[in-house]
Amino acid sequence: MSHDISKMVYVGTEPWHGLGTALQANTDYDTLVQAAGFYTAVERPVFSPPMVEAIPDRKALFREDTGEYLSTVSKGYEVVQFAEVARTLMEAAGGVRCIFHTAGTLGRNGVRGWLLGELPEPLLVRGDKSPIKRYVLGYCGHDGTTAITLKNVATRVVCQNTLGVALSEKDGAEWHIPHTTSAKVRLEEAAQAFRLLVEGYERFGELANHLAIQPFSEHQLQLVLNRVMPLPEDEAKHPRITNARNKVVELFHTGTGIEGDIQ
């Protein structure tokens, strides 16, 4: 199970590890769920001989398709299926406006699952040739410890390592929902908030392009420098800060920007 992958599918460029099955970007939801290995987790009672009755405050989770054991959890644990998280994410991200990018299951018996969607039109800021990818991530597990997560990320998730990078990103919005009895209600609440976040991408693009053509005065430059790279009282002992400030001032007067063609 290389890179902790149990099963995965992807659209576009083959992942760096060479694993997974390629699908078309317009793959329908039901086909995606099946291809990604999004099985149904079922609950069963837990027994411990010589007890005749089931342990009252525990239950076990198993894969419905293969019967493989997943975990033992408390009675109050609410199962939220991978497919439910995937559907919620895709609908919250705009339905057909959000295209599937990668998905799959990870760990022993595929105990954790993810889906990465991408909004089809990347952000382009005037003067910058580099498009800003807009990924949305849904992640959950049946291991008793992994919370349901909805998050906008900049990392293309293709394995456990890249998932860890995406989950550790500090910028952007995210929601963590434990598997309590209100998990499905909270998932829908998070979806509503996520929907507003996706709509905010367009407003952010408009603002970024507006700021890209705004003039920046000498006075504003000094304010930014003093806030970002303030000079200590004993500035003579900190030549690196002084040199960095001087470099910024030099670029402000002589630099041409990212492309040099902003009018």
- Give the model confidence (pLDDT) of 49-90 as tens digits: 888 899 999 999 999 999 999 999 999 999 999 999 988 887
Query: Burial code of 43-73, b = ≥16 C-beta within 10 A, e = fewer?
Result: eeebeeeeeeeeeeeebbbbbeeeeeebbeb
Is the pLDDT reported for residue 247 higher than 70? yes
Contact of 120 with 131, CB cutoff 8 Å:
no
Query: Are 11 and 20 within 8 A, CB to CB?
Result: no
Q: Quick one: pLDDT band at residue 123, thresholds 50, 70, 90?
A: low
Residue 86 zone, left/alpha/beta (φ > 0; ψ -120 to 50; rest) = alpha
pLDDT at 239: 80
- pLDDT band, very low/low/confident/very high, at 261 (cuts 50, 70, 90): very low
Name the pairing type of β-strands 148-153 and 21-22.
unpaired
What value does the mean pLDDT of the chain take? Answer: 83
Write down the pTM of the prediction: 0.71
